[in-house]
Chain A
Amino acid sequence: MFKRKEKVIRHLPFFGKENLTSYLMSAPYMLIFITFNVLPILISIVLSFTYFNMLQSPSFIGIENYLNLLTNDDLFITGLKNTIIMAICIGPGGYILSFLMAWLINEMQGALRTIMIFLFYAPSISGNVYFIWTYLFSSDSYGLVNGVMLDAGFINEPIRWFQNPDYMMILVVCVALWTSFGTGFLTFAAGLKGVSRTYYEAAMVDGVTNRWQELYYITLPIMRPQLLFGAIMSISGGFGVGGICNALCGFPSTQYAVHTIMNHLEDYGGSRYEMGYACAIAVILTLLIVGMNYIIRKLIERVGE
Chain B
Amino acid sequence: MTLSIKDLKSKLGMNKGAHMSNMRLRNRSTGGYIATLIFLLLFASIMVLPMVYVVANAFKPLSELWIFPPRFFVYNPTGKNFSDLVELMNTSTVPFSRYIFNTVFIAICGTVGNVLLSSCCAYVFARRRMVGGKAYFSIVRYALMFVGGSVTGIPNFLVMSSLGWIDTYWSYIIPAMGTSMGLYLMKQFMEQMVPVEVIEAARIDGCGEMKILFRIVMPMVKSGWVTLIIFSFQGLWNTGGTNYIYEESLKTFNYAMSQITAAGITRAGVSAAASLLMMIVPITVFLIAQSNVLETMSTSGMKD
Contact = CB atoms under 8 A, between A and B. Distances in A.
Whether chains A and B associate is yes
Contact of B177 (A32, A151, A211): A32
Contacts of B191: 7, 225
A101 B43 CA distance: 9
Contacts of A11: 200
Contacts of A29: 117-118, 120-121, 177-178, 183
Contacts of A290: 142, 145
Given A26-B130, A123-B47, A118 B123 contact: no
A29 B24 CA distance: 41
B148 A236 contact: no
Contacts of A41: 143, 146, 148, 152, 155
B102 interface: no
A125 B188 contact: no
A112 B158 CA distance: 48
Interface stretch (A74-82, A142-150, A251-259): A142-150
Interface string B37-62: 10110011101101101100000000
B215 interface: no
Contact of A22 (B129, B184, B193): B129
A224 B119 CA distance: 19
Interface stretch (A60-68, A88-96, A165-173, A261-269): A261-269
A293 B145 contact: yes
A204 B70 CA distance: 54
Contacts of B40: 101, 104-105, 108, 116
A290 to B, nearest CB: 5
Given A8-B127, A41-B152, A196 B174 contact: no
A14 B131 contact: yes
A106 to B, nearest CB: 10
A217 interface: no
Interface string A11-26: 1101100110111011
Contacts of A129: 50-51, 54
Interface of A: 5-12, 14-15, 18-19, 21-23, 25-26, 28-33, 35-41, 43-44, 47, 54, 101, 104-105, 107-112, 114, 116-123, 125-129, 132-133, 135-136, 141-144, 147-148, 150-151, 178, 181, 183, 186-187, 189-191, 193-194, 196-198, 200-201, 204, 209-211, 222-226, 228-229, 232-233, 235-236, 239-240, 242, 262, 265-266, 269-270, 275, 278-279, 282, 285-286, 289-290, 293
9 contacts: A9-B203, A11-B200, A28-B117, A197-B21, A226-B192, A265-B148, A265-B149, A269-B151, A270-B150
Given A26-B130, A262-B149, A269-B151, 15 more contacts: A8-B127, A11-B200, A12-B128, A14-B131, A32-B175, A36-B156, A43-B158, A44-B152, A120-B47, A122-B50, A189-B293, A190-B293, A194-B296, A222-B192, A225-B187
Interface of B: 3, 20-22, 24-28, 33, 36-37, 39-40, 43-45, 47-48, 50-51, 53-54, 66, 68-70, 72, 117-118, 120-121, 123-131, 133, 136, 139-156, 158-159, 174-175, 177-181, 183-185, 187-189, 191-193, 196, 199-200, 203, 209-210, 213, 223-224, 226-227, 230-231, 234, 238, 240, 254, 275, 278-279, 282-283, 286-287, 290-291, 293-299
